[in-house]
Amino acid sequence: MGKKPNKNQFEFIWGHKPTDGMVNTLSKQLSAEFTDVMNEIWANEAVRSAVLISSKPGSFIAGADLNMLEACKTAQEVTQLSQDGQKMLEKIENSPKPVVAAISGSCLGGGLEVAIACHYRVATKDRKTVLGTPEVLLGLLPGAGGTQRLPKMVGLPAAFDMMLTGRNIRADRAKKMGLVDQLVEPLGPGLKTPEARTIEYLEEVAINFARGLANKTVSAKRSRGLMQRLTDYAMALPFVRQQVYKTVESKVQKQTKGLYPAPLKIIEVVKTGLDQGNDAGYLIEAQSFGQLAVTKESKALMGLYHGQVHCKKNKFGNPQKEVKTLAVLGAGLMGAGIAQVSVDKGIKTILKDTAQKGLDRGQQQVYKGLNSKVKKKSLTSFERDSILSNLMGQLDYKGFEKADMVIEAVFEDINVKHKVLKEVEAVIPAHCVFASNTSALPISQIAAASKRPEKVIGMHYFSPVDKMQLLEIITTDKTSQDTAASAVAVGLKQGKVVIVVKDGPGFYTTRCLGPMLSEVVRVLQEGIDPKKVDAISTAFGFPVGAATLIDEVGVDVATHVAEDLGKAFGQRFGGGSIDLFKLMVQKGFLGRKAGKGFYVYQEGVKNRSVNSGMDEILQKFRVPANPDVCSDEDIQMRLVTRFVNEAAMCLQEGILSNPLEGDIGAVFGLGFPPCLGGPFRFADSYGARQLVDKLRKYEAVYGSQFTPCQLLLDHANSPSKKFHQ
Amino acid sequence: MPHDLARAALQGLLTRTSVPRDVVDYIVYGTVIQEVKTSNVAREAALGAGFSDKTPAHTVTMACISSNQAMTTGMGAGRASCGVHRDVPALQCPCPAGVGMIAAGQCDVVVAGGVELMSDVPIRHSRKMRKTMLTLNRAKTLGQKLSLISKIRPDYFTPELPAVAEFSTSETMGHSADRLAAAFGVSRLEQDEYALRSHSLAKKAQDEGLLQDVVPFKVPGKDTVTKDNGIRPSSLEQMGKLKPAFVKPYGTVTAANSSFLTDGASAMLIMSEEKALAMGYKPKAYLRDFVYVSQDPKDQLLLGPTYATPKVLEKAGLTLGDIDVFEFHEAFAGQILANLKAMDSDWFAQNYMGRKSKVGAPPLDKFNTWGGSLSLGHPFGATGCRLVITAAHRLKKEGGQYGLVAACAAGGQGHAMIVELYPQ
């Protein structure tokens, strides 16, 4: 913790150093010190202005201390924390001596609330500097005056956008929005390191503005553009405001299906503040903050946050050799996607295919992916070109002797996999890792053809690779620690959330999805149409409807996987008729990629219609439905209980090493409802007892597919047992 | 047009040196912003200036060090000559290190120079408009033509202006200079003081008649320009009133402490020593050694001199103390001061240049004492020759053996050259 009065005692600079961890968080300790420092500033007559800066590059204040929130037992306790924060920031806002926030690095949540309570904001214009209110992503709302100050600062529409999406805003955009007043360009090397000098420069510039504000040579008032003034004028009209509330509310309702309480609360709190004044606004903000913090949704989302942090670490340590050259076999959707997320992290990547046409398509996909970032201005065209120079497209094995890792993404057929493995092993160096991007073939089976099985590992990516955050890494009994370390390191470098699981048919993710999709087919056979199935599953919180999901995965792939897993696990993976899939494949209804599946897909048409060709097929496989287990809720529970039961079985068998990774894998890879926090969090909150009861009920109708696994039974029998403590 | 200026420089060179036209084996010119009609401006200017049509000519480009590149391309050994603004006397160099045409035995006599016409840069139609116009050329029927023309929208008429910005980073040079000054903690006052020094020294040199490399140029329809017309010594107070030009509102680089863009051309006669003596010339100086360097175009865009200086000294077997005359290109006062600080920093030398220790900062009493680009102006492609010849003239006037020329250039590149006075 450093504080230093400036030389001439006119400005007071308070730099806070995080005492533990990587980032600054608003903890009780920090708040206390902050209050002390502010009191000192007000008491000392020599001080005319103050600058608030973090001496930690890369972090202004990254938000409130989550542990502090989680330690609270009641809503009242949290509300009290919120009110303390509000009071502290109100003092800054009303300070007779101007306070300037000098922002470098993440300025999120509570950090942003501190910044907007100051009189002026100067921010470093680099990629690390982001501003935002991510509270909603944790099921919360900005609880230290943010809901009240933000609309006044950036206007109602922009404030809603920030608070409801929780998106990060880069410094240059923040300047345009009026969220910060001045930008400071990052500096290059001088007589100190670029980082050290940039922070120092930021401080110098901020001091200048603080001095200017105190001398009244600088005005904190911003000149607003015509558009902004018009918007402000319109927003001042109650009628217009009501319309905005209504539109935003209906949009939120549509997107969250009412499963997430935080966005609706945010709207309500903002509304109260604008319509009934500050006091009412602050009061309801603090109360709502308290209420939200103890919801099960917030607990689930915070659990996911912790899980994500956990899965961004390499538990195997640093690999002996960093992967600098990567080779990807197969330039299909997956292969090209893997190449894209590698080249833009500076990894030299060879993209190999067997046919020129496939290679061209793959290279175009990488280009297109990067170019879309240029269009969004997150990349310059020069950077795109320079990134693309890391990509080498080719049809032969040239240069593989330099590869540190090979990831194969070829056709899902064990013979094809064996063939490429042998070809590759003939050309790669001894240290090179061979990773297979397969969604279901057991890695040990693939490794059986290898001369060096300790170097073989599974890296299961999710499509589309540049969007999906999860990477599932699969180790066999023979995979060496260093190979695992290397694969995790590559995944983390690619920006993935990484879970590491043991080998087995379908690993973890595919295996959990299997029984659920089988149940979807049975539901369809029972005469529920695809649209209804989608509606029921999204209403439960799945981001993609269950029937649509099959189309997205591809019916042929689903058939393949269902057959394989069916062989491995037998009756438990039954339910829906696999012949229904087979007939669909026969008819060419392969899903989205073929333009037809359960739905018809047309370029540019948003409201897709049900594929009428499916009527006949569904009719053919029609089975009678038992009304006892076919209410909407029962259908939801049939899908989810099978998922959760299988997930628990993976933990029981040691495929999963802990429930945390199980939750992360299910949410980030399969779209398990985030508001439930994953299958294990859901089992805790729903209750293992209740879950087992449901399973037993369906078991009575359908048989062993619903037999609860031992681990769930254990949990059901001792209520104190929880997956997450 | 640029070739007119270049022509005048070449003619001035012929007049001053009386070199027979057919003795010149080759002509190399440097330029930055190319006029599309005369993309090989060296050839067009040479023909117009009355050089033999049997003398081949080519044009090089390397941003602000284009004419340096022209010299070193032609060089090996030389003897030299003149410029519109800048005439240049004989230079010569027995340097075996040169890879240029003279050293390679390709030529004996080379004319090198540079030209820039900043007052008339090519402004293009937008890409959409160009595309429409090119398609229009191929349209056959009136109907096709009309349908193409009907597609033209008002935004098609937005022109594309050339900017003094890096292609790779899209950052303007002034902006980068401001960041560089900040990185080295160079204050606004220091920059203004240095700029004032440059203008005062240039004024003094001009008044004393030291800038004898200038050749008068008659602007068609206007008066004849007989001297550098950008020298304006002001006061620190006046300069302090200016607003920052790039990093607004708190930056330190202003119009007053930046070099200004101007029109100009230069030319220089370079020969091998034997050839010069055989022809009865008394050379002015040797071009001893030179280096080119390049570094990060974003954060070290203008640090070329820092990197090039120790390298060229090492190559020539000299130390900073051996140098009697420093002639550095002044892109911005902040850039010069940042370079001086960088050269004087062990930390920078060790962490960024991979050297054991600093090379040291040149003493100011030997540094750009006749003004520089800040006061004389900076016609991109022409500046290099001016630096070299000023170094030679200063060596002769002030006494001394070695001169060091250094310059930075867009793209994060840099150059340095050792000039040695020809024994008097």
Q: Is the dihedral of CA A691, A678, A557, A566 positive or negative?
A: negative
Taking contacts as CB-CB distances below 8 angstroms, the residues of chain B near A197 are: 182-183, 185
Arithmetic mean of pLDDT, A40-55: 86
Tokens at residue A692, please?
């087992």
Helix, strand or coil, per DSSP, at residue A218 = coil
E runs forming strands in A285-432: 325-329, 348-352, 391-394, 405-408
Q: Are residues B179 and A188, on separate chains, in Cβ contact within 8 Å?
A: yes
Give the burial class of A375: count Cβ atoms within 10 A of its Cβ; 0-12 exposed, 13-18 middle, 19 or more buried: exposed
Q: What is the pLDDT of residue A12?
A: 58
Statement: residue B118 has pLDDT above 90:
no
Which of the following is catalytic: B85, B175, B378, B415?
B378
Least CB–CB distance from A187: residue in B167, B179, B342: B179
Substitution target in B247, B250, B335, B352 with the highest count of A β-carbons within 10 Å is B250
A12 or A317, greater pLDDT: A317
Partnered with residue A350 across adjacent β-strands are A327, A392
Does A191 contact B169 at a Cβ distance shorter than 8 Å?
A: no
pLDDT of residue B86: 45
Min distance B187 CA to chain A CA atoms (Å): 12
Ramachandran area for residue A604 (φ above 0: left; ψ -120 to 50: alpha; else beta): left
Using the predicted structure, report yes or no on whether residue A235 has a pLDDT greater than 50. yes
pLDDT at B229: 87
Average pLDDT over residues A414-426: 95
The answer on pLDDT for A9 being more than 50 is no
Distance CA A373, CA A394 (A): 25
- DSSP symbol at A451: S
Say yes or no to pLDDT of A23 above 80: no
- Report the pLDDT averaged over residues A270-283: 94
Write down the residue that tokens 């002001």 correspond to.
B234
Contact A197 B170 (CB under 8 A): no
Q: Is the pLDDT of residue A725 over 60?
A: yes
**A205 chain-B contacts, CB cut-off 8 A:** 250
Q: Single out the residue of A475, A538, A545, A497 nearest to residue A517, CA to CA.
A: A545
- The pLDDT assigned to A144 comes to 94
H helical segments located in B87-241: 127-138, 142-150, 173-183, 188-207, 236-240
Percentage of residues in chain B having pLDDT higher than 90: 61
- If residue B403 lies in a helix (H) or strand (E), which one and from where to where? strand B402-409
Q: Which residues of A172-202 are buried (b: 16+ CB within 10 A; e: fewer)?
A: eebbebbbbbbbbbbbbbbbbebbebbbbbb
The answer to whether residues A590 and A596 touch, using CB atoms and an 8 Å cutoff, is yes
Neighbour tally for B261: CB within 10 Å = 17
Chain B residues inside the 8 Å CB shell of A193: 351
Over residues A309-329, the mean pLDDT reads: 95
Q: pLDDT at residue B84 above 60?
A: no
Residue A299 CB-half CA count within 13 A: 16
Dig out the tokens for A661 from the structure: 């990774």
Region of A135 on the Ramachandran plot (φ > 0 left; ψ -120 to 50 alpha; else beta): alpha
Provide the residue type at A486 as one letter.
Answer: S
Residue in chain B nearest A202 by alpha carbon: B182
pLDDT band at A8 (very low <50, low <70, confident <90, very high): very low
**Predicted local distance difference test score (pLDDT) of residue B327:** 97
Q: Are B406 and B416 in contact (CB under 8 A)?
A: yes
- Print burial letters for A431-470: b (CB count within 10 Å at least 16), e (below 16): ebbbbbbbbbbbbbbbbebbebbebbbbbbbbbebbebeb
Query: pLDDT tens digits, residue range A115-172?
Result: 999 999 999 999 899 999 999 999 999 999 999 999 999 989 999 999 999 999 999 9
CA torsion angle B296 B302 B306 B307 (round to 10): 30
Q: How many CA atoms lie within 13 A of A608 on its CB side?
A: 21
Q: What are phi and psi of A301, to 5 degrees?
A: -70, -35
DSSP H stretches of helix in A588-631: 613-620
Q: For residue range B188-201, what is the model confidence (pLDDT) as tens digits? A: 999 999 999 999 99
| Residue A45 annotated to the active site | no
Backbone angles phi, psi at B395, to 5 degrees: -60, -40
Nearest-angstrom CA–CA distance, B281 and B274: 10
Looking at residue A24, what is its pLDDT?
Answer: 66
Of the residues A11, A113, A408, A472, only one is catalytic, namely A472
Average pLDDT estimate for A245-262: 91
Each residue's pLDDT tens digit, B223-251: 888 888 899 999 999 999 999 999 989 99
Quick one: pLDDT at residue A33? Answer: 80
3-state SS class at A49? strand
3-class SS of residue A98: coil
Give Cα separations from A54 to A1, A15, A58, B197 (angstroms): 10, 5, 9, 39
Residue A38's pLDDT band (cuts 50, 70, 90): confident
Q: Do A188 and B300 touch (CB under 8 A)?
A: yes
Task: Select from B167, B299, B345 the Cβ nearest to the Cβ of A191.
Answer: B345
Give the per-residue pLDDT at A398: 94
Residue B145: exposed, middle, or buried by beta-carbon count in 10 A (0-12, 13-18, 19+)? middle
pLDDT grade for A20, boundaries at 50, 70 and 90: very low
DSSP code, position B100 = S
For residues A594-619, give the mean pLDDT.
87
Query: Which structure tokens are listed for A28?
Result: 């009780």
Chain A nearest CA to B241, separation (Å) = 15
User: pLDDT band for position A218 (50/70/90)?
Assistant: confident
Nearest to B348 among A191, A205, A209 (CB): A191
**Residue that wins the pLDDT comparison between A364 and B218:** A364
Q: Where are the alpha helices (DSSP H) in A407-462?
A: 414-427, 443-447
Q: DSSP state, A596?
A: B
What average pLDDT score do residues B54-83 get? 76
Q: Which residues contact A45 (CB under 8 A, 6 or more apart)?
A: none
Average pLDDT of chain A to the nearest whole number: 91
Q: Are B276 and B94 in contact (CB under 8 A)?
A: no
pLDDT tens figures, A684-703: 999 999 999 999 999 999 99
Q: Tokens standing for B29?
A: 């010119």
Q: Which residues of A17-56 are buried (b: 16+ CB within 10 A; e: fewer)?
A: ebeeeebbbbbeebbeebeebbeebeeeeebbbbbbbbbb
C-alpha A256/C-alpha A267 separation (Å) is 14
* A616's tokens: 């006949």
Instruction: Give the integer Cα–Cα distance in Å for B176 and B179.
Output: 5
| Cα B167 from Cα B183, distance rounded (Å) | 22
Q: Which two tokens stand for residue B60?
A: 């090089």
Question: Of A55 and B287, which is predicted with more confidence?
Answer: B287
Q: Classify residue A383 as exposed, middle or buried by CB count within 10 Å of its CB (0-12, 13-18, 19+).
A: middle
Q: Is omega for the bond preceding B249 within 30 degrees of 0, making it cis?
A: yes
Instruction: Flag the least confident range among A356-360, A369-373, A588-592.
Output: A588-592
Sequence-ordered list of residues with C-beta below 8 angstroms from that of A391, at least 6 positions apart, any chain: A339, A343, A349, A351, A363, A366
CB contacts, 8 Å: B296 with chain A: 188
**What's the rounded Cα separation, in Å, for the pair A300 and A290?**
16
Nearest-neighbour CA in chain A from B334: distance (Å): 13
Strand, coil or helix: what is A565? Answer: helix
Distance CA A201, CA A509 (A): 49
CB–CB of A189 and B352 under 8 A? yes
Q: Summarize pLDDT for A541-573 with one digit per residue, the tens.
A: 999 999 999 998 889 989 988 988 999 998 889
Contact B4, B120 (CB under 8 A): no
User: For A698-712, B132-146, B379-393, which range has the lowest pLDDT when averaged over its residues?
Assistant: B132-146
